[in-house]
Each structure stands twice: as C-alpha cells, then as structure tokens.
Amino acid sequence: MDSLSIKGGVPLHGEVAIGGAKNAVLPIMAASLLTAEPCVIRRVPRLSDVSFMGQILTSLGARVNLDGDTLKIQAVKIKGVGDYDLIRKMRGSICILGPLLGRLRRASVSLPGGCVIGPRPIDLHLKGLSQLGARIIIEGGYVRARAQRLMGGEVFLGGRAGPTVLGTANVMMAAVLAEGVTIIESAACEPEVVDLANFLSAMGARIVGAGSPTVTITGVKELHGAEHEVIPDRIEAATFAIATAATNGEVTLLDARPDHMHAVLDKLRESGVKVERRGSALTVKRGGQLKPVDITTLPYAGFPTDVQAQMMVLMTLTPGISIITERIFESRFMHVSELARLGADIAIEGPSAIVKGGRPLSGAPVMASDLRASAALVIAGLVAKGTTQVKRIYHLDRGYEKIDDKLKRLGARLGRMEES
C-alpha cells in the first residue's frame, strides 16, 4: 500500500492537462454492453476504477483493450451475472445492472462497494427498473432482476438528497431497449449524465432532455457500435484550481470545461481567487487575501459534494469563519479529524462544518478515508510547514490519473513510497 510524502510551502506554477471524467467513463463503459458491435471510447483516464470496470466487463464476456487513452470494447456474447469479488471494490459498478437488463432481460449483480462516505442505497435504481417491468429481488448479497418484456413508463427518481446520478444512468440504459416511451422525472442533470446520453445517442438511442430534470427515451430494437470522446473531469479541474489557490501559485488548467464548473468557480472568486477563462482553459491565481465563504453541497448545478473536502482546506487558510454544509452524503466529514492533525480548527455541528481559518498548518502523518478526502489531504500537505505523509493513497488512484506526477511538474515536492 503506497503513501505520499509531501514537503509543503512551494507555490504551484505551470500548466496541467485535465483528463477524462471518471464519473462519465464508467457508465459509458457499461453502456457498451448494450450492443454486440465494437465501441471505441477516447480520452479514457488510466485509473484503478477504470481498470476494475474493464475487469468486470471482461468477466461478463466482453473483449476490452486499452491503448493509450483509447478504449475498445466489444461485447458479442455476455452473461448476466456480475462477480462479487470485482464489483465489491467499486460502487460505480452498479451501472452494469441497467445495460444487462436491457440487453439480456436478466441480470444478477452483486451489491457494490466503494468509498465509505455514508449510506448510498440503490433503492431508486431498483424502483426505476421495476417501473419498466423488471421483477427484482435481493438475496445472498446480489440484486437479481428479470423481465420478459421491458415497457416504457413514467419513472420518478427524486430522493432525500436529490436525484440519483447512477440511478438515472441505469434507468436510461435499460430504457433505450425497452418498448415504447420512458419519461424520467427528477432525473440527475450532471454533465456525466449528458455525456452518457450522447454516447447512447451515437449508438442509435433516441433520448431527449438529458441535462434537464425530465428525460424522454423512446425505445429502439437494437443499438450499434459507436465512437465517443469522454468529457474532461470537472472534479479533477476543481482540485487543481483549489490546490493552486491554496499554495498561492498560478496554474493554467487545459481542457477544463469551465461551463461544467460554475458553482465551484463562483465560490473561488467569492473567496478572493482570480479565475480567467480562455476558451476551454482556466488560469487560476490568488487575488490577494482570501475571504471566508459559506458553501452548501447540492445536486448539479449546485456546489458538488466531490469538491467539499478540497474547498475545506482552502477555508482553513482563510482568516475568519467559513461554514460548509453537506447535503448529499451524511458521513462526508471524515477528513476533518485528519485536517485537525495538521492544525486545522474545524467543528462539526450536524450537517455543517464550522471552519475557523487563518491558522498555519504543520506537517504530520494522516490517513485518507476516501477518494476526495485523499485529494484534500494532499492539498493540505502542499501548504503545511514541514513534511506530511498521506497514507492509503490507493483512494487517489481510483479517481486521479498520476496526480503525483502532475503535481511534480507544477513544482510540488512529493514522492510516492511503498508502505510495508
């Protein structure tokens, strides 16, 4: 198990290319199961989650080949059973349920694993697929779904924390091969859902309204192969933007898709960070003294929960009191105790973290609890005095392609070490 040793105090400078979006590529890979013809996916990041999904597709019978950032998948003959040992490693693997049910009319998929950031039930996934005609039971740790026919219908996917992104993806992928018209109300509006819809449309699906709360899908008899380029990762871009502001550097983010980042960029500017947009590139630099801000995580187009931990680090450096309220995942403050080890003053009151900023951080050993907490601890290490050792960085490799190499090219002093 690897760790990162970081010597803080160096401003980041230069350019960094933003890779393909993890949260877009995984359901797109799963969607390739909907056809026997070859699919080509470009700008695929080399992440452990992508590797796991490739192994899952291979276990189902697909041929998967990654060459550089181009992924070729062909699923001529597939089975409908998803293996527990693979699926338990990654929550995103649940998105194979919809395409297996759509193509085979049956699916048996192990309940997934993933980051420990609070309960993330799949009841809305199952509710939506049931409304298309699937009979679903859960037994022995598996979701078992069958349908003699899938029929279009009205599906409502609103939940306690808002729409479900993977649930929208699962219902969409099953509905493209259902009979008739499916209308998804309270659909997730994230850019990753739009990217999946664009890929499905390239395969021959008929989808209208992706990116809005109402998505209409008219079923077709079959889909064909397609080529597609994955959108840039807005969370990776936000992470590098915050790291730049935290270290008082200046970095240009290439291929950042600022139109997917309005809420993050708005809060960065409100906090005193200068953000200049040139086409798809963003240049980020500190504009003077940082200012405290209040943030509430919300479904897209609100402030993303996946950037909450990173933004909290910036607020620890900001004189004054900032309040960060988490409305998506109830256990997503596990990084707070680790930031406290570095000297941060943060109090938790219900769903809110009260950050008393302006105190200097000092290096210490810390433990990553999940993917975005790992990124936050790396940012904290970049600004802390002395050396910070971030342990269990396998979480980082799930969602950031060679983040240590990218940071080194921007001037960061860090190294990866293998732990015994």
> What is the rounded average pLDDT for all residues in the chain?
94
pLDDT at 111: 82
Residue 420 confidence (pLDDT): 62
Which phi and psi angles does 148 have, rounded to 5°? -65, -40
219 alpha carbon, distance to own chain's centre: 28
Separation of alpha carbons 193 and 72, rounded Å: 21
Any idea what the Cα angle at residue 257 is, between residues 252 and 260, rounded to 5°? Answer: 125
What is the 3-state secondary structure of 101-129?
Answer: HHHHCEEEEECCCCCCCCCCCCHHHHHHH
pLDDT at 288: 87
Second CATH level (architecture) for the domain 22-219: Alpha-beta prism (3.65)
User: Distance between CA 286 and CA 314 in Å, rounded?
Assistant: 11
Instruction: Indicate whether 80 pLDDT > 90.
Output: yes
Choose the weakest-confidence range: 61-65, 151-155, 329-333, 334-338: 329-333
What's the pLDDT at 113? 55
Residue 113, both tokens:
């694993």
- The contacts of residue 85 (CB under 8 Å, 6+ apart) are none
Q: Is the pLDDT of residue 118 over 90?
A: no
pLDDT tens track for 231-243: 999 999 999 999 9
Mean pLDDT of 49-65: 96
Helices 371-383/308-316 angle, 10° precision? 20
In the DSSP assignment, the letter for residue 148 is S
With residue 413 as reference, give the H or E element that holds it.
strand 413-418
Considering the chain, what percentage of its residues have pLDDT values greater than 70?
98
Residue 255 has pLDDT above 80, yes or no: yes
pLDDT computed for residue 330 by the predictor: 75
Structure confidence at residue 49 as a pLDDT band (50, 70, 90): very high
235 CA to centre of own chain: 7
- The structural domains of the chain, with segments of one domain joined by +, span 2-19+233-418, 22-219
Supply the pLDDT for residue 117. Answer: 38
pLDDT score of 1: 78
Confidence of residue 119 (pLDDT cuts 50, 70, 90): very low
**pLDDT confidence tier of residue 160, bands split at 50, 70 and 90:** confident
Between CA 180 and CA 86 the distance in angstroms is 34
Single pTM value for the model: 0.96
| 97: amino acid identity, one letter | L
SS3 191: helix
Reply yes or no on whether the pLDDT at 13 is more than 50. Answer: yes
Lowest-confidence segment of 35-44, 118-127, 361-370 by average pLDDT = 118-127
pLDDT of 33: 98
What is the model's pLDDT at position 73?
98
Single-letter amino acid, residue 100: L
Per-residue model confidence (pLDDT) at position 115: 44
Extended strands (E) in 219-289: 227-229, 250-254, 273-278, 281-286
Phi, psi of 256 (to 5 degrees): -95, -15
Asked whether the domain spanning 22-219 has the same topology as the one spanning 2-19+233-418, the reply is yes
| Pairing verdict, β 345-349 and 352-357 | antiparallel
> Class of 2-19+233-418 per CATH?
alpha beta
Residues taking part in catalysis: 115
Mean pLDDT over residues 188-208, rounded? 98
Residues counted in the chain: 420
Please state, for a pLDDT cut of 90, what percent of the chain lies above it: 86
Query: Given this model, what pLDDT does residue 88 score?
Result: 73
Say yes or no to pLDDT of 114 above 60: no
What six digits make up the tokens of 152? 């279009």
